[in-house]
Amino acid sequence: MFDIPETRKTVRDLIRWKLKRAGFVTIQKSVAVYPYPCHELIINLRNYHNLRPGELYVFEAKVLEGAEVLKKYFKL
């Protein structure tokens, strides 16, 4: 999940593109999901783009509403 201000729109769009390219699925404009560990990727993106605290988050969910659709998409 990310919350990058409008003043940094280029970075925000680039993060969205990089997540999609890495295989993430967008479930809301600034929320993407991925079924595998990705903490290192997120840390690297955060560091590379000099994102401030609160601009790019990692959440690990045990329960996700609509998970069956995502499992099918990711072929799990």
Q: Over the stretch 16-43, which tens digit does the pLDDT of each residue have?
A: 999 999 999 999 989 999 999 999 999 9
Q: Which residues make beta-bridge pairs with 56?
A: 2
d(CA 20, CA 8) in angstroms, rounded, equals 19
Q: Over the stretch 43-58, which tens digit does the pLDDT of each residue have?
A: 999 999 999 889 999 9
Integer Rg of the chain from CA: 13
pTM: 0.86
Q: Compute φ and ψ for 33, nearest 5 degrees.
A: -125, 155
Q: Map out the domains of the chain as residue ranges.
A: 6-73
Q: What is the pLDDT of residue 42?
A: 95
Counting Cβ atoms within 10 Å, is residue 4 exposed (0-12), middle (13-18) or buried (19+)?
buried
Name the residue type at position 7. Answer: T
Q: What is the pLDDT of residue 61?
A: 87
pLDDT at 62 over 90: no
